[in-house]
Structure 1
Amino acid sequence: MNTKYIDLINQSFYFPQEEFKLEDKTLQFHDIDLMELVEEYGAPLKFTYLPQISNNISRAKGWFARAIEKNEYKGTYSYCYCTKSSHFKHVLHEALKNDIHIETSSAFDIDIVENLKRDGKITDETYVISNGFKRAQYVTNIARLINNGHKNAIPVIDNYEEIDLLSQEIKGKFNVGIRIASEEEPKFEFYTSRLGIGYKNIVPFYNRQIKDNPKVELKMLHFFINTGIRDNAYYWNELVKCLKVYTSLKKICPSLDSLNIGGGFPIKNSLAFDFDYEYMVDEILNQIKMVCEEEEVDVPNIFTEFGSFTVGESGGAIYEVLYQKQQNDREKWNMINSSFITTLPDTWAINKRFIMLPINRWHESYERVLLGGLTCDSDDYYNSEQHMNAIYLPKYNKDKPLYIGFFNTGAYQETIGGFGGLQHCLIPTPKHILIDKDADGNITKKLFVEQQKSEDLLKILGYNEQ
């Protein structure tokens, strides 16, 4: 009878997979021995596998290059990274090895851009696409960047006042984009995105504030929807509406030459994940070309802003199962030695799914469980709502430690979780390991930050003021 955990996985999924395999009966992730990682650093821990960032950028660039060739598309393609997904220096430095550009969303992002320029990681040729609602400090920082000679800075206009605010601080002529306020999915509680300017208002806005303005030149139309790029009627319908606005604007605005189709490529959240990226890129370019030919306008240069897709699949978290609580005749709670709310906040906030697999004991029998975090909060759990289905793990045995890993957690979790700050119930932030490959392809590891100590938290709280 097939009762081992490995039998369950083999019956349910194709395994091994590109990034996952078993070696010496323990889980390997991109050839990283995860049990060796635990033995060296302990658990809980988080890690970032830096080469996966470059790998995903290369994959996307390849899809667009092939689609441009196949469709005989006359525009260019530029890959931008959304810094809000992960602002860490090691992430930006790895991403920028790949000749990419940057999208910002707040005032302090511009300080990061200037730091990267001083380090020689970007130049004035690097596109800096500035999204978000812009007021005082953000406007000032964008203006400083442009006034200091960054010619490829493009603030994307989010509301009717931003042209005037930018004009007051920027010396000379500058380029802008306009963000479309797309309609949300029918299941949303509101109809139209709070970000950007409505479809019907964009051409009047251009005529009123940009067309005869000697300081401002429109270069880009920005299209982004919250659900990201998906092969469904909603996405294709919104794209067609966007293209109608683009072609209408292009006919009266010769300087408009770029369409930013935003980001939102999905990342792998299950061993059963299946998404045809290549088909989607090909069909998007085909749709754009077809509409532009019908309207007899030149096709735009294409920009994308991939955040989660860039960095998400580089991250992971490893916990130890401390104890099992049998709360009733059906529910077994495996308690981890950390917190989901603090370390993987999207599991709690939006029921986000991550790949979850045991690190060891794959050749032992399994059981159905729920996973609970250490905080005294009833919402600190991970169950079948977040997971693709019921959670099965090797049976709890107090004499045999069980370690579990959550994978593709590299986007947003640190910033939303308040990295380095206060955590719910004062659960400390785990240690974080950076994993890379040297010139010979050998795995290298470096401790980025230690687990928080009580004195770190007490200082934030004002108890240790010295």
Structure 2
Amino acid sequence: MKTKYIDLITQSFDFPQDEFEMDGEYLKFNGIDLKALVEEHGTPLKFTYLPKISENIQKAKGWFEKAREELNYEGTYNYCYCTKSSHFRHILGEALKNDIHIETSSAFDINIVENLMKEGLINENQYVVCNGFKREEYVENIARLINNGHRKTITVIDNYEEVDLFSEAIEGDFEIGIRIASEEEPKFEFYTSRLGIGYKDIVPFYQTMVKPNERIKLKMLHFFINTGIKDTSYYWNELTKCLKVYVNLKKVCPELDSLNIGGGFPIKNSLSFSYDYPYMAKEILLQIKAICDEEGIPVPNIFTEFGSYTVGESGGVVYKILYQKKQNDKEYWDMIDSSFMTTLPDAWAISKRFVMLPINRWYDKYERVLLGGLTCDSDDYYNSEQHVNAIYLPKYDSAKPLYIGFFNTGAYQDNISGFGGINHCLIPQPKYILIDENYEAKVYSEEQTHQNVLETLGYNK
């Protein structure tokens, strides 16, 4: 009878997989010796495997370039990284090795861009696409970037007021985009995105507020779907509506030449994850080309804004199971040595699921459990996987420590939890490790101490 944890996994999934393999009874992730990592650095532990960022970028660029060749698509393809997914210098430094562009969303982003320009990591030929609702400091920073000579800065207009704000702040000619306020999926609590300008209002907006200003060139139509690029009737319907706007706008605005299809590719959240990336890249270009050919207009240059896809699959978190609590006849709570709310806030806030696997004890018998965090909040738990409404782990044994990993956690979690700040119940922030292409591990930050926390709170000053 097959009752070991490894039997459960190999019977349920195709395993090993590209990034997951076994070294004896221990799990490896992208070739990383997780056993050695835990032995050297302990837990809880967060890490980023930097080469995965470049790998994913090159894959996406390859899919779109191949689709362009097969379809004889004459527009260019431009890969943008959404900085809001992770603003760390080491993340952007790795991403920018791959001849990409940047998408920003707030004022401080521009300060980061200026810093990267000083380092020579961003040059005058790389686009800076400025998104988001823009208030005074963001407007000032974008204007300074353009006035200082970075003319490949495209300001994506989010509301009617921004045209006048930028006209006053920017010297000479400048380029803009217009963001479409897309309709959300039916399950959303609202009908239309709060960001951008409505489908029916874009052409009148251009004719009354943009076209009369000879200093402004409208170069981009920005189309963003909150749920990302998926092979669903909802996505294709919204893309078709967007393309109709592009066609109508192109007919009255000849300088319009770019379409930004923000709202990126998904990342792996389960061992059963399946997504045909090459098909989606080709189908998107095919749909765009078909409508443009039918209308007799040139195809647009394509921009994508991939945040989670760029950085998400580079990250992981490792915990130790401290103790098991039996709360009734059938609920076994494995308690981790940290908090889900503070280290994986998306798991708590939006019920996001990550790939979760044990690091060791794969040849032990398994049991169904719930995972609990250290805070005194009843919401600090993780109770199911993407592919099944349950969690199975090797049976708890106080004499045999169990370590578990959550993988593909690299996007948003540090930004949302507030890296370096105060966490719920003052649970300390874990040690953070960077791993390079030679599997050399460098400590980026040590685990938070009580001195760090007290100083931030105003004590010990």
Task: Work out whether the TM-score is over 0.5.
Answer: yes
Q: Does residue 439 of structure 2 align to residue 448 of structure 1?
A: no
CA distance in 1, matches of 2:206, 2:158: 13
The question of whether the paired residues in 1 share the 8 Å contact of 2:272 and 2:387 is answered with no
Count of equivalent residues: 461
The question of whether the paired residues in 1 share the 8 Å contact of 2:49 and 2:436 is answered with yes
The question of whether the paired residues in 2 share the 8 Å contact of 1:347 and 1:386 is answered with no
2:456 equivalent among 434, 438, 460: 460
Aligned to 1:223, what secondary structure does the other structure show?
strand
Deviation at 1:386, TM superposition (A): 6.2
CA distance in 1, matches of 2:61, 2:460: 50
Aligned to 2:133, what secondary structure does the other structure show?
coil
Question: Match of 1:44, as an amino acid?
Answer: P
Q: What do residues 281-301 of structure 1 show as CA deviations (whole Å, max 9, x unaligned)?
A: 100000000000111111000
> How do residues 46-445 of structure 1 correspond to structure 2 at under 5 angstroms?
46-384=46-384, 388-437=388-437, 442-445=438-441
The question of whether the paired residues in 2 share the 8 Å contact of 1:333 and 1:370 is answered with yes
Using the TM superposition, name which of 63-72 and 383-392 deviates more. 383-392
The question of whether the paired residues in 2 share the 8 Å contact of 1:353 and 1:387 is answered with no
CA distance in 2, matches of 1:40, 1:50: 19
CA distance in 2, matches of 1:211, 1:144: 23
CA distance in 2, matches of 1:294, 1:214: 30
Question: Match of 1:459, as an amino acid?
Answer: E
Two-structure CA RMSD over aligned residues (Å): 0.8
Question: Match of 1:456, as an amino acid?
Answer: N
Question: Match of 1:248, as an amino acid?
Answer: N
Question: Match of 1:53, as an amino acid?
Answer: I
CA distance in 1, matches of 2:295, 2:214: 28
CA distance in 2, matches of 1:19, 1:34: 12
Aligned to 1:197, what secondary structure does the other structure show?
coil
Deviation at 1:424, TM superposition (A): 0.1
Structure 2: segments with no counterpart, 5+ residues: none
CA distance in 2, matches of 1:316, 1:344: 10
CA distance in 2, matches of 1:86, 1:456: 23
CA distance in 2, matches of 1:433, 1:263: 29
CA distance in 2, matches of 1:124, 1:73: 26
Aligned to 1:364, what secondary structure does the other structure show?
coil
Aligned to 1:18, what secondary structure does the other structure show?
coil
CA distance in 2, matches of 1:122, 1:377: 43
Deviation at 1:334, TM superposition (A): 0.1
Deviation at 1:390, TM superposition (A): 1.1
CA distance in 2, matches of 1:176, 1:54: 29
Question: Match of 1:445, as an amino acid?
Answer: A
Deviation at 1:385, TM superposition (A): 6.7
CA distance in 2, matches of 1:88, 1:399: 39
TM-score normalised to structure 2 length? 0.99
Q: What do residues 170-214 of structure 1 show as CA deviations (whole Å, max 9, x unaligned)?
A: 000100000000000011111000000000000000001111211
> How do residues 1-40 of structure 1 correspond to structure 2 at under 5 angstroms?
1-40=1-40
CA distance in 2, matches of 1:223, 1:19: 32
Aligned to 2:280, what secondary structure does the other structure show?
helix
Aligned to 1:323, what secondary structure does the other structure show?
strand
CA distance in 2, matches of 1:413, 1:399: 32
Question: Match of 2:330, as an amino acid?
Answer: R
The question of whether the paired residues in 2 share the 8 Å contact of 1:351 and 1:386 is answered with no
CA distance in 1, matches of 2:77, 2:166: 27
Aligned to 1:261, what secondary structure does the other structure show?
strand
TM-score normalised to structure 1 length? 0.98
CA distance in 2, matches of 1:409, 1:341: 13
CA distance in 2, matches of 1:30, 1:407: 11
CA distance in 2, matches of 1:355, 1:78: 30
Aligned to 1:274, what secondary structure does the other structure show?
coil
CA distance in 1, matches of 2:330, 2:387: 18
Aligned to 2:180, what secondary structure does the other structure show?
strand
Structure 1: segments with no counterpart, 5+ residues: none
The question of whether the paired residues in 2 share the 8 Å contact of 1:325 and 1:333 is answered with yes
Deviation at 1:389, TM superposition (A): 2.9
Deviation at 1:387, TM superposition (A): 6.6
